[in-house]
Every structure is written in C-alpha cells, then in structure tokens.
Amino acid sequence: MLPLLLASSSIYRRELLNRLHLPFICSSPNIDESHRPDESAAELVKRLAEEKARALAGSHPGHLIIGSDQVAALDGKIIGKPHTFENAREQLLAASGKRVSFLTGLAVLNSNTGHCQVDCIPFTVHMRTLDAARIERYLRIEQPYDCAGSFKAEGLGVSLFQSTEGPDATSLVGLPLIRLVDMLLAEGIQIP
C-alpha cells in the first residue's frame, strides 16, 4: 500500500481524513490559487486540487497524494474566506434566505505512475433568513473567518441552515470522503 499524503494544512481536512483510520502525513503545497479569466468555479477547484497534489509529487515519490480545494458561490459569484468579522457579516447578510453552492475539487495522484483521478463534488446549503443580531451572535461565538461562506457546518453554523442537498455532506467541510474512498479503492487501498 502506498503511503498517503494530504496536500493541505487544513485542520478540517485532516480531521475528516482521520475518520478513515488510515495512516497519512500532511504537507502544505505552495501554489498560486488565483482564479483564471473565464474559468468556471468547477474548473477552478478541480485544477487547484490537482495542482496541490502535483506540487508535492517530486518531493514525495511513492505516495498517493490527496489534493482538495473548495469554493462557495452565491448568486453565481465566487465568495471566498471572509478573514474578518466585517466581511463575514456581509457574506451572511447577503446569503440570508438564499442558496449557497459549494464546489469541492478532489484529486488523488499516484506519484509513482502519475495517474491522477480528479472530480468536483457539489453541495448546496439553503440558508435561513438571518437578521443582523443573529449573525453577530453567531460570529462572536464561532469566528468562522477561515471558512468559505462564513460558517462552520461541523459546528454552530448548521443552525443557520434551512436545509442542505448533495451527495456527500463531508464535502461541505472540504474533503468529500465518499468520493475519496472510491478513488482510494481504485488505487488498491484497503479501507478498514
């Protein structure tokens, strides 16, 4: 079995991958994550997931390298991580009562063979109608400034949802485990 490498410094992705009870190491790739002109959100996350995996292939021969990237889209526009309270408040006010689409790119690269499986997993969150006071209370408690869409679905952020839809709820946190298991099985990895 080839050793697994998660091409990420995200604690959220690391926690998700731990659920599979497989040994792995982490390394953070250094890539340009800029959005290219005329690139769709799905194309962007697939490209970045693969680039993250390929960026570590030279320094990690003989590994299966897992890359992932996620964007959120509101009203057809990509929204990123808010980084500040003010930006998060604006994102949540804009999302109030609307659908927020999350697209998560996933890549598994066999650095021995160069074979790379790449996919994009969609997930939609239907937000509750939120007032400014509720948003402020939420942000003061959770502080989701490093999360696309300004909420942590694995925490109190779920209280902001009316409903969700998609093939894999773990994709909302940033690493779609159901699809990842398919890719690992295709590479001969035995899942406990």
Q: Which active-site residues does the annotation give?
A: 69
CA dist., res. 8 & res. 69, Å (int) = 9
CA dist., res. 25 & res. 3, Å (int) = 8
Token digits of residue 68: 């992932």
Q: Are strands 24-26 and 64-74 parallel, antiparallel or unpaired?
A: unpaired
CA dist., res. 49 & res. 81, Å (int) = 17
CA dist., res. 29 & res. 6, Å (int) = 10
Token digits of residue 134: 């509720």
